[in-house]
Structure formats: C-alpha cells, structure tokens
Structure 1
Amino acid sequence: MTAFAHETRSRTERYTGPIFTVHTDEVTMSGGGTARRDIVTTKNAVGVVALDEVGRVALIKQYRHAVGTQLWELPAGLRDVAGEDLVVAAARELAEEADLVAARYDLLVDLHTSPGFTAETIRIFLARQLSAVPDDARHERTDEEADIELAWVGLDEAVAMVLRGEITNAAAVAGLLSAARARDDGWATLRPADTPW
C-alpha cells in the first residue's frame, strides 16, 4: 500500500510566543477532503542520562506548572541558542541543572515528544566520566530551576520508579529505559553523539 501524500492547503497563525508558536493547517486527508489540525512549533530539546562510575543516574525534581506538581526528570532543556551543536546544548543543560560536566557523550535515543500536535523533538544523550562544575563557575538558577532537587539513583531503581509510575516525564522514561537496555547490551547499541537526526 502506498502512503497518501498529505498536502497543506492553508496555514493560519494563532499565537506566537517566546517558546512556541501555534498555527492551524488545513490538510488533505487519506479518505478524501480536508481537515484542520492545530500544530505547536517549538525550539526542540536535548536531555541527558548522566551515569556515574557506580551506575547511578542524576535525576532532578523540578516544578512543572502545566501539571501543577514537581516531576522527576533528566537534566534537559530547549535548544534555544542559535546554531548550538546538540552535544554542546546537552553539556550546557547538564552543567546548568545538575552542576555536572561529562567527558564522554553517546547518543541514546531520539524522540518525537507528541506528534499528534507538535513536531517537537528531543535527543537524549548518555553522559559518562562525570565531574562536578567548580563552585565558582556554577550557573545561577532562577524561576522553576531555583529549587531543583538533585538525587543520585541507581539505574535499576530509576527504571523501577518508571514502572511504579513515580517518573512520568516522557523524555526521562525513554532515556532511562534506553540507558538500562544499552547497559544490558554492553553499550553495543549506543550511537555516536554526532549521529545525524
């Protein structure tokens, strides 16, 4: 069966803000006719599974207003620096949110976060050979990041937290499960950090 070529007939801008844009597309449908689809366009993101030498992962707990609670997550953030390499963005987020530097990065997994309404992607890296950011070089956290809680959790326990419903952030779930699988495969399934999307 040949895939139907969906065509965008029109686009109407609904909202433009500092982080995302919303527009409505009129799109041709496989069964004939057209349908309107609201789309959120954003800057995309990177995330990091930071794994220490004894198999613990750095998790952060951060307030997320959209869900009205604090969530356990991976250090992660928007790709909001123009032209920034993805590994460099990941290293920046790891330093800003967890006060860590990694000497080694590998690619774990690429995700479309919610393709029903957004083209947003997140690339999740495995960071190893960790060291602390010196005290005098640490990022000053503000807003929701001001009360970030950092915890070191064994990777198997982090996976158990996922399966118990204690970790629900989608990027964290994918990153932790991917890291556990890669570890169990002797790291043979890791891709180079600079692998094209």
Structure 2
Amino acid sequence: MPKPWRVLDSRINYSDRYLTHRMDRCETAHGVVVEPYHVIELPNWVNMVAVTDDARVLMIEEYRHGIGEVVFGLPSGTVDPGETDPLRTAQRELAEETGAEALHWVQTGRMFPNAAVNSNTCFSFLATGARITGETSFDEAEDIETVPVPLEELYRCLLARELRMTAMHLVGLHEAGLYILTSGDPKMAELREILAPLYSPS
C-alpha cells in the first residue's frame, strides 16, 4: 500500500488573503527526494444546487478571470476565516449571490478539487424550497446574474454533456441528481419524478 511522503523541509514562498504558495522538500517511502514540491493552500469551497418549488434551479452567470470568460454555474464561494460549518457558508453564499434562502438542505458531496497540489476541500449541497426573499450582496469585484433554469432542461443538458462549467460545479450537479434519485428522501419525490425518465430513457 502506498505510504505518505516525509516532509524534510517546508517554506512559504508567497501568501496573501486568497492563497498561500508553499514549497516542500519531501522524501518518498522509497527514498526519492522531491524538491521543490509546490502546494497551493486555499480556503475550503462550497457550491449548491438550489431548487425552487416550481422545479427551477437557481444558476448564475459570472465573469471568471482565470479563463477570461463569463461562465454559467452554481452559486458558490469560499469558507471565510472564522466559519467552521460549510452549511452555514453555503446558506450565506446563496443569499449573497442570488438573494435566496431555502427550506431544506442536505450535503451531497465532499471532495478534493486537486489533491496533488491544492490543500482544500469542496463541499456540495442540495437545497430545496428555494425562493428569492431579499437583495443580493456582492463583493466589490463581483457582477453576478441569477438564471433560473428548469430542472429537467438543466439535467437533460448535463446528461448530454452540453454544459461547459467549472468541474466542481458539474460534480455538484451529478451528486445532487444522484441524491434525488437514490436517497429515498420523501422531500425529493416530485423532483425524482422529473429526473427518473432522463436517467432511464424508454
């Protein structure tokens, strides 16, 4: 069975409020020294599939500078310093980005965005009974538009591999769909009726 590397030395090359770049000197279980090994320390992330009572998913469009494009995706964000419960972060981010709140929440996933070089964890949630109850509250550089999409239309595009989105958002959609279909949660009955024919076409 593979064994963890031993860290011989570690230093911070750069750090600000967004990320920390760490450089490690490591030794593998077979005695191979790896130097430098770059690690990007990032805060944990959350994303959510928020579904309204009329079976629409609150998606967003937002400019993402890494690729220089406006991207379609899920409401999402980072766990702020002092926040210890990813669910509370998800509820805050949904309110800030869409002005919505939701009655029922369930965590559908916990994953590592890139375990090779990133230190953080991404938590995915499904929120049902979502409705817009207030105003959005964007960060200074944010410009976000809420786009409600019918659940059936969204998952038809997902299963046809037509969605071009952030990878963690695609995973979040798949996890929410699997929860709806397989959990047996009675709150999911109406949504299950919508998705079941897409996953089991006649």
TM-score range, shorter chain: 0.7 to 0.9
Shift of 1:165: 4.2
State how far apart, in whole Å, the 2-side matches of 1:179 and 1:83 are. 24
For 1:118-169, what per-residue CA distance to the aligned partner results, in whole angstroms no more than 9, with x for missing partners? Answer: 01111111111122223xxx243244422x1211123343234344343321
Residue number in structure 2 paired with 1:5: 4
Task: Please report the TM-score for the alignment, with normalisation by the length of structure 2.
Answer: 0.82
Long gaps (5+) in structure 1: 189-197
Question: SS at the partner of 1:51?
Answer: strand
State how far apart, in whole Å, the 1-side matches of 2:29 and 2:120 are. 24
In the alignment, is the contact (CA less than 8 A) between 1:158 and 1:176 conserved in 2?
no
Residue 149 of structure 1 is aligned with which of 129, 133, 145? 145
Question: SS at the partner of 2:9?
Answer: strand
For 1:40-51, what aligned pairs fall within 5 Å after superposition? 40-51=40-51
State how far apart, in whole Å, the 2-side matches of 1:29 and 1:184 are. 43
State how far apart, in whole Å, the 1-side matches of 2:145 and 2:83 are. 30
For 1:13-162, what aligned pairs fall within 5 Å after superposition? 13-35=12-34, 36-134=36-134, 138-146=135-143, 148-162=144-158
Q: What is the root-mean-square deviation of aligned Cα atoms in Å?
A: 2.0
In the alignment, is the contact (CA less than 8 A) between 1:101 and 1:131 conserved in 2?
yes
For 1:25-69, what per-residue CA distance to the aligned partner results, in whole angstroms no more than 9, with x for missing partners? Answer: 111124421113100111111111101223321110111101111
Residue 169 of structure 2 is aligned with which of 165, 169, 172? 172
Give the count of matched residue pairs.
184
Long gaps (5+) in structure 2: 186-202
Question: SS at the partner of 1:167?
Answer: coil
In the alignment, is the contact (CA less than 8 A) between 2:62 and 2:145 conserved in 1?
yes
In the alignment, is the contact (CA less than 8 A) between 1:49 and 1:175 conserved in 2?
yes
State how far apart, in whole Å, the 1-side matches of 2:55 and 2:183 are. 13
Task: Please report the TM-score for the alignment, with normalisation by the length of structure 1.
Answer: 0.84
Q: Which moved more, 1:64-73 or 1:28-37?
A: 28-37
In the alignment, is the contact (CA less than 8 A) between 1:161 and 1:167 conserved in 2?
no
Gap change, CA 1:57 and 1:103, over 3 Å in 2: same
For 1:63-115, what per-residue CA distance to the aligned partner results, in whole angstroms no more than 9, with x for missing partners? Answer: 11011111111111111141342211111000000110011110111111111
Identity fraction in percent: 23
Which aligned segments of 4 or more residues in structure 1 are displaced greater than 4 angstroms? none
Q: Which moved more, 1:88-97 or 1:51-60?
A: 51-60
Bigger relative contact order (CA 8 A; separation at least 6): 1
